Structures are given as structure tokens and as C-alpha cells.
Structure 1
Amino acid sequence: MSDWKPKRFWKLATVAERDGSFAVELDGRPVRTPAKTLLTLPTRPMAEAVAAEWDAQEKEVDPRTMPFTRSANAAIDKVRVQHAEVADLLAAYGDSDLLCYRAVHPAELVARQSQIWDPALDWACVTFGVRLITVSGLMHQPQPESVQTQLSAQVHCLSDFQLAAFHDLVSLSGSLVLGFAAALDWRDPDEIWRISRLDELWQEEQWGPDEEAQALAELKRQAFLHAKRFFDLSS
């Protein structure tokens, strides 16, 4: 039974507008989420992306090939019912942001982190009016309460669909700042992804690449780029 997959039963997936939102229909019947909620999307482009995934299914439905549908399901079934809790979870990344914990040595890595990570913190300062504290080493250094409050407010302002995408931008990069940087188009998302992997790329330079680690990193990169596309289609 674990190998069972639903069969394609429809001929055409289409988009229908419903009270300012957009639904995906299969031969006129609306698609529902795993929790049986009507799958309604905030924008037509997002609904069209979801409909295209359903249209691309052949004999069997393979959720692995439907990232926009999966993200939309998560926004409706998971984020919508616990928006505040998800926002709090992500805002907490700002108190231990990847960009704030710097190497003690070697000097070349210390310099590279400063060169590549400081501009992102400078951008956050200009954009949100807060300056995150950086420290040498891994000992946790709490950020000022005013900084945490301001960044948390920004996270809580995101819509359910934006927050679903933002969850992946932050958790995959390990940085609230880089999550915002990707969402708000500070730089190309691929470049932001590379910024988040500065330490791993440094290790590869020193010891050579690990094929298994590189394969996993590529999967995460693709998920990060998808999250950015989903965020952009959310409004």
C-alpha cells in the first residue's frame, strides 16, 4: 500500500477566480489540500504555476514534481493555522544569525567573512534600522531586545503564503537577514545562497569537494531558489 500513487483522472487543469483569489480546477472540480481545504491562491501567476504542475502529471501523480502545489498546501494547512507561531520561530533566527558568528582563525577566513557578510548586515541596518552585533567564536551573544522586536515585527507582517516561502529562505540559509535579503531582492538569490555557504565553500577550498555533500547542497540550493520564486508569486 505504501507504493500506491493516485492516478490522473482529469483532462485539463484550469484557473478560476473566486472572490479575489484564484482556485485550480481539474475538469471543473476544485483542487483541495491534504487537509481538505479549498486550494485558493493569492495571485493568478501562482495559480497558473500550480495548474501547470497538475497538467504536467501523466499517468500517476508525483508530488515530488509539484513544488508550487506543495508550498501552497503548506501555506494553507500549516502556516495559516499557526501564523504567529511560525513567525516567532523564524524571527528567533535573528538572535543567533549565521552572519553574526565569525571565525577566530585563520585570518584569511576572518577577512572573507567580513568582506562578504558585512554588506548584508549593512543592508539590514539601512532597510530595517537595526544593527546586529557580531562576535568571534560560537558562544551565543543575544541581540539587543530592540533589534529582535523590530525584526520580529517585520516577519509577522508577512502573509501566510509569503511566510511559507520565507520559512525555507531562512531555515535553508540559517540566516534571518539573508532570508529577508532574498525576499526583498537585495541581490540575486543564487548569490545570496552562495553567501550563506561561505564556510562550506571555504572548507571545500582547503580539503577538496565531497560529492555527497555537494549533492545535498544542490538540493538545498534548488529548494532555496524555489522558495524565492514562490515568495515572488505571493503578491
Structure 2
Amino acid sequence: MFNISSRIVTRLCNSTYHISTRYYAAPPKRFYRKTGVVSSNGKYEITLDQRKLKTPKGLPFFVESEPLALAIATEWDAQKEVVDRSTMHLTALSSTVIDNPNNVQKSDIVNYLANYISTDAILFHSNEEKALKDLQKVEWDPVIEWFNKRYDVNIESTHGLEVPTFAPGTAMNISRYLSSYNEAALHGFMFAVDTIKSLILTCACVDRHITPAKAVLLARLEEEYQLGYWERVEWAHDVQQLDSQSRLAAGLLFVYFNSSDVFVKQKIAN
């Protein structure tokens, strides 16, 4: 696998302007009536009444995909009494791409994601509970097999905390695929992977092999299994599940809206 320093990993893990910790200050009240999108020279900006949106660094906020701009405007329009930025994943991802607060380069993200495979959540099967292990085999192994065929690799699951081993060229094949995406799309990849702790499940979603809802359930498989034996606090676990689905879906949309085929379709339509 590629070597990637702990400094870069820390930068990558904290590189998104996204609220992942609890804020104790009350969110600001909604200060605008209408949202809109304006375009100029292939760039799309978001307007709040007559004012154009800015990034946290005060830079002009713009994207190069009209569908993404419309989705971001919808995020702002969905805010009601207050502006809760913790629910505005596409806005946060776009601001991160523009401001790049930690000076992350495309190669950093590719290496981070390629290395993530060694800690991928669905590669670690239980070696203590046979029922759980059987469930993981039924639910996880087909996705792993799909990933191997799709990306021409040979990845196998492991047991307990045993670190998986990979054939030479595995990381290179994965990084070659990831490098085909632009830097903005890779930010969406990273956001999605960090949400469900699985590059394999994220790739399966990007290729539409499974749905985001299915991916979240697979990522939570052990937790859901344990809930079958212990009391379930329905509202708490449901909120966590829906939050993960929301974050994963946002990451996937960000990948799609920043991919070349979207721009090609726009040009053909024009």
C-alpha cells in the first residue's frame, strides 16, 4: 500500500467545513427570503436575496455544475426559522473545495482512499459469534466479490482484528480508478467513505450497485445485529441511521455532480 503520513491523514480527516461536533451556540435566524442561482462563464453562484454567497474564508462561492448549484440553493431554501449548517452537506463540501483550508492536494486524497481499504469496515468479520459471522458472510461477501471483479483486484475478508493482506498492484488499481475523478469529486468520495467507514461500499454506491440506504445498513450490520439482542432505543438509532444516509447521499451527489458526464450532458443539451 501507499505510505501516507499521519499529518496528512489528520489534515484529510479534518478537511471538510462540516459540523461533525455538537454546537452549543444557537444557530442564526434565517436572514433571507429567497434563494437563487446566477451563472456566468460556466460558473454558478448562489444568491440569498440580492447577496451572493461567500465561503468561510470570504471567497466567492461558486460551482461548475448547474445541478449542484440548484441542489445547494435547495439546501439554503430548506432552512426554516434558523440556518442549521450541520444539515447543509453540499454547501460545506463546496466551500471546502474552494477554500482548501488544509492545503490538501488531489494525490493526498487518492492515497488516503487507496490506503483506506486496509481498514475497510466490511473486511473484518467476527471470529467470536458464529451467527454474526454467518450474517456478515451472506451480506458482505457478495459486495466484496463485486468490488474485486469491478476493479480487477483480489481482496479477501479477515477475522477479528487481523489486518488484511493484499496482492501487489491492489492499491495501484484502486488509485488509478480514483485518479480518473477530479479533485472536487474526490472530496465527495472522502466524505462518503468517512461516513460509512468503507471504500468498498462507497464504490458500490457510486456505481449504483447498491443504494445508499442499503450501504448504511451494511455498514451498521454488527450494530443492528447486537440491537436484536439488546433493547433498542428506536428514536436514537433511527436518527443515527438517517443522518448517515443523509451524509452518504450528499457525498455521492457531490461525486456525481462534479463528474465529467454531467458536464457532457449539459453541453449536449445546450
TM-score w.r.t. the length of structure 2 is: 0.75
Partner of 2:263: none
Structure 2 residue 270 is matched with structure 1 residue 223: no
Once residues 16 and 232 of structure 1 are traced to their aligned partners in structure 2, the CA distance between those partners, rounded to angstroms, is: 21
Q: Which range is displaced more, 217-226 or 77-86?
A: 77-86
Whether the aligned pair in 1 keeps the contact of 2:124 and 2:159 (CA below 8 Å) is yes
Deviation, structure 1 residue 18: 2.7
Whether the aligned pair in 2 keeps the contact of 1:169 and 1:182 (CA below 8 Å) is no
Residue among 169, 178, 192 paired with 1:146: 169
SS in 2 for 1:15: strand
Structure 2 residue 191 is matched with structure 1 residue 168: yes
CA spacing shift, 1:79–1:127, aligned 2, 3 Å? farther
Partner of 2:93: 71
CA displacement, residues 128-151 of structure 1 (integer Å, 9 cap, x when unaligned) = 111112222212133234111211
Whether the aligned pair in 1 keeps the contact of 2:35 and 2:73 (CA below 8 Å) is yes
RMSD: 2.6
TM-score w.r.t. the length of structure 1 is: 0.85
* 5+ residue gaps, structure 1: none
Residue among 197, 203, 215 paired with 2:226: 203
CA spacing shift, 1:106–1:5, aligned 2, 3 Å? closer
Of all paired residues, the percent bearing the same amino acid is 23
Structure 2 residue 144 is matched with structure 1 residue 121: yes
* 5+ residue gaps, structure 2: 1-24, 260-270
SS in 1 for 2:58: coil
Deviation, structure 1 residue 115: 1.2
Once residues 232 and 84 of structure 1 are traced to their aligned partners in structure 2, the CA distance between those partners, rounded to angstroms, is: 20
Partner of 2:178: 155
CA displacement, residues 135-182 of structure 1 (integer Å, 9 cap, x when unaligned) = 222121332341112112222332233222211221121111111111
Partner of 2:256: 232
SS in 1 for 2:76: helix
SS in 1 for 2:226: helix
CA spacing shift, 1:55–1:114, aligned 2, 3 Å? closer
Residue among 134, 143, 163 paired with 1:111: 134
Partner of 2:75: 53
Structure 2 residue 52 is matched with structure 1 residue 30: yes
Deviation, structure 1 residue 28: 4.9
CA spacing shift, 1:222–1:4, aligned 2, 3 Å? closer
Q: Which range is displaced more, 55-64 or 171-180?
A: 55-64
